[in-house]
């Protein structure tokens, strides 16, 4: 449906003619700090010239239209409770759509490395489930939306499970605490390697983000102390917060994050490397959790209007998954009240509507 039978060469030719969307297969360099406002090249291995299908052209057009339509939108504001994030250029804007057969449609600031923030929670959940099984993770963490802000201490007090779900800060810190490892350092290496496998290339920490957040994360340390009171944290609290802070500070660009997202869409297998990163049987649980809690107290409205499992981060990224077909990844730092990127929501909503991607819609072309 997204672009199941993409014909790369024809799409590149079309993109070059249109001069807009970049379609590529090669990973971008890491941590490029400055990127052109608009990408200008397309590279791909030749696979034989064929005419792109109407659906493929429609997707490329939808990405370009969304970029043009929302580029000038200045609604929302950068997160500022982590000082580093307050000084990120709010006008940065990138879109990458990655299909399960490894095609990448990108536009905008696609080489800028931003912190993954809460989107990391999805992958630490996947790692915990890989190692411990879904039943154990569900029993130790749970999967209930809190209806409260992502960092809410009152949710820890009031929720019967206390942890809530693995995508709010308390549940995410508890999830990190669950991941088996002899030391915190070993756990961090394991997490970073797992994220890198999902991206299909080596990811690294953005040290300035980590330092900035570690100096100001008293709230998360308080959540860990509360979890200890309820016996819902499963390793040293402060060490767990520290590893969690590191995982949130991993740098990704839209293409790298797009590949991580497409790995979820592709039943846990990285579309480029072919490595089975996330156990297939856990994918439905992960996507269900993203549906109910991926955009925090904005999750209900998102499901209502867009109908795709998604996850946001206060760095400005959002991923949305079209199971079996691909993923839409957008980066733009200005956030709404719930901590979700305004432009990213607008872009994903635009593309999903244009392409009939709502999972709850029985439109006939959904399964094509
Ligand atoms: O712990 C925090 O507050 C951040 N490291 C992550 C929060 C976040 O990304 C919420 N997302 N929208």
- In ligand 1, the atom with minimum distance to the C-alpha of 119 is 9
Q: Which of 114, 116, 118 to mutate to test the pocket of ligand 1 (most atoms within 8 A of CB)?
A: 118
* Span from the CA of 194 to the centroid of ligand 1 (angstroms): 20
Cα 65 from chain centroid (whole Å): 22
Calpha distance 279→283 (Å, rounded):
7
Show pLDDT as tens, one digit a residue, over the chain (368 residues): 454 333 333 333 333 334 345 554 333 332 333 333 333 233 333 344 567 788 888 999 999 999 999 999 999 999 999 999 999 999 999 999 999 999 999 999 999 999 999 999 999 999 999 999 999 999 999 999 999 999 999 999 999 999 999 999 999 999 999 999 999 999 999 999 999 999 999 999 999 999 999 999 999 999 999 999 999 999 999 999 999 999 999 999 999 999 999 999 999 999 999 999 999 999 999 999 999 999 999 999 999 999 999 999 999 999 999 999 999 999 999 999 999 999 999 999 999 999 999 999 976 554 44
- Model pTM? 0.89
Collect all residues with Cβ–Cβ distance below 8 Å to 61 and sequence separation of at least 6. none
| Binding pocket residue ranges, ligand 1, CB within 6 Å | 117-118, 150-151, 169, 213, 220, 248, 312-314, 339-340
Calpha distance 101→262 (Å, rounded):
9
The residues that are catalytic are 118, 121, 244, 296, 314
- In ligand 1, the atom with minimum distance to the C-alpha of 150 is 10
Q: Which of 151, 168, 223, 344 to mutate to test the pocket of ligand 1 (most atoms within 8 A of CB)?
A: 151
Collect all residues with Cβ–Cβ distance below 8 Å to 188 and sequence separation of at least 6. 243, 246, 247
């Amino acid at each position: 449906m997204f672009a199941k039978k993409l014909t790369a060469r024809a799409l590149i030719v079309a993109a070059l003619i249109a001069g807009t969307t970049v379609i590529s297969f090669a990973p971008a360099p890491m941590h490029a700090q400055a990127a052109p406002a608009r990408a200008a090249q397309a590279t791909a291995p030749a696979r034989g010239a064929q005419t792109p299908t109407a659906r493929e052209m429609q997707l490329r057009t939808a990405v370009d239209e969304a970029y043009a339509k929302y580029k000038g939108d200045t609604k929302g504001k950068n997160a500022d409770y982590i000082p580093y994030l307050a000084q990120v250029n709010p006008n940065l804007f990138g879109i990458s759509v990655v299909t399960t057969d490894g095609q990448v449609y990108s536009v905008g600031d696609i080489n800028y490395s931003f912190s993954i923030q809460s989107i990391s929670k999805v992958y630490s959940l996947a790692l915990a489930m890989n190692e411990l099984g879904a039943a154990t993770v569900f029993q130790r963490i749970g999967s209930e939306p809190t209806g409260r802000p992502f960092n809410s201490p009152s949710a820890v007090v009031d929720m019967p499970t206390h942890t809530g779900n693995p995508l709010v800060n308390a549940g995410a810190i508890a999830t990190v605490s669950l991941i088996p490892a002899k030391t915190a350092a070993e756990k961090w290496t394991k997490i970073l390697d797992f994220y890198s496998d999902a991206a299909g290339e080596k990811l690294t920490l953005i040290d300035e983000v980590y330092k900035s957040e570690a100096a100001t994360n008293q709230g998360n340390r308080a959540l860990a102390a509360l979890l200890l009171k309820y016996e819902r944290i499963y390793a040293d609290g402060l060490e767990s917060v520290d590893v969690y802070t590191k995982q949130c500070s991993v740098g990704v660009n839209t293409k790298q994050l797009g590949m991580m997202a497409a790995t979820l869409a592709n039943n846990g297998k990285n579309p480029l490397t072919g490595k089975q990163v996330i156990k297939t049987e856990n994918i439905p649980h992960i996507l269900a959790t993203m549906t109910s809690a991926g955009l925090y107290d904005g999750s209900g409205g998102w499901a209502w209007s867009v109908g795709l499992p998604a996850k946001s981060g206060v760095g400005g990224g959002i991923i949305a998954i079209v199971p079996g077909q691909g993923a839409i990844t957008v980066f733009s730092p200005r956030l709404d009240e719930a901590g979700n990127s305004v432009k990213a929501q607008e872009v994903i909503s635009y593309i999903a509507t244009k392409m009939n991607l709502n999972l709850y819609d029985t439109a006939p072309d959904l399964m094509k």
